[in-house]
Amino acid sequence: MRETPRSQGTAGDSMAWPPQPRLGRARAHTTGASCSGSPLRSDGRPPQTPRGARQTGPHGRPGTTPPVPGRPTPLFGFRGLDPLGPLSRPAVVAALCAALFGLITWQVVGHGPLRALDERIDRALVGEGPAGLTEVLADLGNLQVALPVLAAAVGLALYRRRRVPAAAVAVAMALVPALVAPLKELTDRPGPLTPETGYFPSGHAATAMVAYAGAALLVGRRAMPAAVLLTVATGVGLVLRGYHWPLDVLGSWSLCGVLLAGAVLVSSRDGRRSGAGTPSRRTGPG
């Protein structure tokens, strides 16, 4: 294929400005001007393709010519179970935990079939396992053990200037005795090994969950598996030692799920407000 040679000037030549039109190339931009094999435009199309004539890509994807890959964005931006945005997740968790706590409380107070099953399971579990180990696990829910862990996490959050999350978790911890004590009086459930009442929900299980899970929320996600392990270990120790029925522990966990979800919701709202009020940094030259 033969191309039209370009005229090359020397380094000392001065370029005329604006560039002078060349008669030899004027025909290349007219419809059908160039013959086949020319590197210039020869398809007979107008210089610009109208927007309505653009082709779509495969499977109905929007595109130009050539087609641009990519599927249309969903109308509501669905991602898993998050149709309303990241703030809906803690709200959904709180609602589910509240519903579960209501169901457990209704069964305990009304002597429902779930309570009868709970008592049969407890009789088969009490006294199982090494006594020394199960006692240590139950003691993880003591205030003397759990509160220092939470206090250290709150101090770290304040050092990192995360005041709102630290305050939210601290309020959740303060609400544990404020909610558990009246519920114990209202339900008036006796213990597994004693006729004394006031065992539902479990205060030790609630203290362990809010303290350890709340500390993990403040420290970082990597600490959450350890918090879950400590919370579950506390509940297992309480049941095996005969300090609480299984539903006492499950009821406390569901109640504390509401408190922790509320703390996450408050922290998320504060983070979104802070992010919206901070001007974005320009990364380009300016």
Q: What is the 3-state secondary structure (H, E, C) of the chain?
A: CCCCCCCCCCCCCCCCCCCCCCHHHHHHHCCCCCCCCCCCCCCCCCCCCCHHHCCCCHHHCCCCCCCCCCCCCCCCCCCCCCCCCCCHHHHHHHHHHHHHHHHHHHHHHCCCHHHHHHHHHHHHHCCCCCHHHHHHHHHCCCHHHHHHHHHHHHHHHHHCCCHHHHHHHHHHHHHHHHHHHHHHHHHCCECCCCCCECCCCCHHHHHHHHHHHHHHHHHCHHHHHHHHHHHHHHHHHHHHCCCCCHHHHHHHHHHHHHHHHHHHHHHHHHHHHHHHHCCCCCCCCC
Question: What pLDDT, in 10s, does the model give residues 175-220?
Answer: 999 999 999 999 999 999 989 999 999 999 999 999 999 999 999 9
Mean pLDDT of 239-259: 96
Question: What pLDDT, in 10s, does the model give residues 49-97?
Answer: 455 445 555 555 554 455 544 444 333 333 333 444 555 788 999 999 9
Look at residue 139 and tell me whether its pLDDT is greater than 60: yes
CB distance 263 to 214 below 8 Å: yes
pLDDT at 271: 59
Mean pLDDT of 245-271: 91
Let me know the angle formed at the C-alpha of 235 by 229 and 241, rounded to the nearest 5 degrees. Answer: 130
Look at residue 136 and tell me whether its pLDDT is greater than 90: yes
Question: Which positions ≥6 away from 146 have C-beta within 8 Å?
Answer: 140, 207, 208, 211, 212
User: pLDDT exceeding 70 applies to what percent of the chain?
Assistant: 64
pLDDT at 268: 82
Q: Where are the domains of the chain?
A: 88-274
* Its pTM surpasses 0.75: no
Identify the residue with better confidence: 37 or 153: 153
CB distance 206 to 194 below 8 Å: no
In whole angstroms, what is the distance from residue 216 CA to residue 229 CA?
12
Mean pLDDT of 151-157: 96
Question: What pLDDT, in 10s, does the model give residues 2-30?
Answer: 444 454 444 444 444 555 555 544 444 44
Least confident residue range of 37-46, 141-150, 250-259:
37-46
CB distance 258 to 98 below 8 Å: yes
In whole angstroms, what is the distance from residue 195 CA to residue 189 CA?
9
Mean pLDDT of 123-132: 91
Q: How far is CA 253 from the centre of its chain?
A: 20
In whole angstroms, what is the distance from residue 232 CA to residue 235 CA?
5
Q: Can you read off the two tokens belonging to residue 152?
A: 């250290």
